[in-house]
Amino acid sequence: MSQTQHPRILLGVSGSIAAYKAAELIRRLRERGAEVQVVMTAHAQAFITPLSLQAVAGQPVRCELFDRAAEAGMGHIELARWADHLLIAPASANLIARLAHGMADDLLTTLVLASAAPLAIAPAMNHQMWSHPAVQENINRLLARGVHLLGPESGDQACGESGAGRLLEPQRIVEQLLGSEHRPLAGRRVLVTAGPTREALDPVRFLGNRSSGKMGYAVAQALTAAGAQVMVVSGPTALTPPAVERVIPVETALEMHAAVMEHIDHCDIFVAAAAVADYRPQAPSPEKIKKHHHEFQLRMVRNPDILAEVAARHPAPFTLGFAAETEALEAHAREKLQAKGLDMIAANWVGGAQGGFDRDENALLLLWRGGQRELPLMSKRQAAREIVHTITERYAAFTARQNFGSPPG
């Protein structure tokens, strides 16, 4: 297999109830920095839709051998040449039989014959099917040709029976395919801010916002899964702290600013996911403010701009900011990207149906100089994995510019 930092994996999905695990497998592969393109058999589409896998892969899913648009330029040959590795998971008994006999009656089996890349299969089927002599004969044929067998495992099956034939868990497939040690951000130090800030009016009241911290915590967890050493500076939340190296709790924007500046010097990447108050009361009352008048005037002063200050450092870490907007999403996000000198920004709508504050889902627009990527509405955990995958790609370009002085891109 290619030893490049971003291995290219062509994932084939065949007809098995375990096909639903393909989405998790794609996420796990991409966490490891892999580029993934998906090919589905006709039977696989009965268990999971191409659109579902397209959303997590970030690439169109191919299903038909005779796709007029793709085949105008012999697209299946181009796809076969693109791959560093072919992985079929799940591999059904039917597909294994067709592979063993060298058939090329759909796009996936044709690609296997047209590619010189190594092939790995992860079988998934009923335990009686797996033990059948015909299946075992087909497996032995494939092994004799150098096909790599991943699993299957033994355990409970969808039919209610138990035995060998379960699809190997996605994480174990990835480890056996790519090795258990390589993670794309291994050794990188990352500082993440998360949650809201609270600005005191008096000992009882504060000015705050609707941020729950869910997006920031999910990104921190996904960065850890990618191998990074992660520290989180967190405003007040009701969430369980993420499993990272250290969590520093703060309350106000000034406290968050102080914590970030204390620890930023040795960080490679800074992710500003916190919703930091732009202003704070100039003079919080030392006593509870009583209700005396029909009107109450409050004088506010600007808080430090933590993100802009970090991005302006020399040298600066790779900086990712977030922009929560109620109108002109892309225009405002691009303005913030440029004005603060950021490397990347993740923008999302708030106050509508597209996720955002204090919700479990989010839809995001990722922007950087010279490129962008849209993430449709998905869970924040899934969105975090997609963000970290893009960070990994952009950070590689960032370090190349730092090392060789190449122009921004």
Confidence of residue 90 (pLDDT cuts 50, 70, 90): very high
Confidence of residue 405 (pLDDT cuts 50, 70, 90): low
The domains found in the chain, sorted by start residue, are: 8-178 (3.40.50.1950), 189-404 (3.40.50.10300)
Evaluate whether 242 touches 221 at the Cβ level (below 8 Å).
yes
Residue 351 has pLDDT above 80, yes or no: no
Kindly tell me the burial class for residue 327, based on how many C-beta atoms sit within 10 Å of its own C-beta (0-12, 13-18, 19 or more): exposed
User: Quick check: pTM over 0.75?
Assistant: no
Evaluate whether 271 touches 320 at the Cβ level (below 8 Å).
yes
The Cα 117–Cα 82 span in angstroms is: 9
The Cα 136–Cα 127 span in angstroms is: 12
Q: Which residues pair with 279 in a beta bridge?
A: 302
Evaluate whether 332 touches 308 at the Cβ level (below 8 Å).
no
Cα-to-chain-centroid distance, residue 152? 27
The Cα 357–Cα 211 span in angstroms is: 5
Residue 2 has pLDDT above 50, yes or no: no
Over residues 218-252, the pLDDT tens digits come to 999 889 888 899 999 999 998 888 888 899 999 99
Q: Please say if 267 is a catalytic residue.
A: no
Evaluate whether 214 touches 360 at the Cβ level (below 8 Å).
yes
Catalytic residue chosen out of the listed positions 113, 159, 243, 339:
159
C-alpha distances in Å from residue 77, one per residue of 65, 86, 115, 297, 320: 11, 14, 8, 70, 38
The Cα 356–Cα 352 span in angstroms is: 8
The Cα 390–Cα 401 span in angstroms is: 17
Helix or strand run (H / E) with residue 319: strand 318-325
What is residue 72's predicted lDDT score, i.e. its pLDDT? 45
Over residues 170-199, the pLDDT tens digits come to 988 998 888 755 578 988 999 999 999 999
- My answer on whether omega of the bond before 315 falls inside 30° of 0, hence cis, is yes
C-alpha distances in Å from residue 31, one per residue of 97, 194, 206, 392: 32, 21, 39, 9
Q: Report the percent of the chain where pLDDT is more than 90.
A: 53
Over residues 11-21, the pLDDT tens digits come to 999 999 999 99
Other CB atoms within a 10 A radius of the CB of residue 245 amount to: 13
The Cα 222–Cα 383 span in angstroms is: 10
Residue 86 has pLDDT above 90, yes or no: yes
Evaluate whether 378 touches 363 at the Cβ level (below 8 Å).
yes
The Cα 321–Cα 285 span in angstroms is: 33
Confidence of residue 354 (pLDDT cuts 50, 70, 90): low
What is residue 198's predicted lDDT score, i.e. its pLDDT? 95
- Of residues 275 and 403, the one with the higher pLDDT is 275
Evaluate whether 303 touches 312 at the Cβ level (below 8 Å).
no
CA-CA-CA-CA dihedral for 186, 385, 54, 103, to nearest 10: 40
The Cα 100–Cα 81 span in angstroms is: 21
Catalogue the E-assigned strands of 128-212: 148-149, 153-156, 162-166, 189-194, 199-200, 206-207
3-state SS class at 88? strand
The Cα 288–Cα 258 span in angstroms is: 27
What DSSP state is assigned to residue 201? S
Over residues 108-148, the pLDDT tens digits come to 999 999 998 899 999 999 888 998 999 999 998 888 888 88
- Phi and psi based region of residue 213 (left: phi greater than 0; alpha: psi -120 to 50; beta: remaining): left
Over residues 5-57, the pLDDT tens digits come to 578 899 999 999 999 999 999 988 988 878 899 999 999 999 999 999 998 88
φ and ψ at residue 228, rounded to 5 degrees: -75, 155
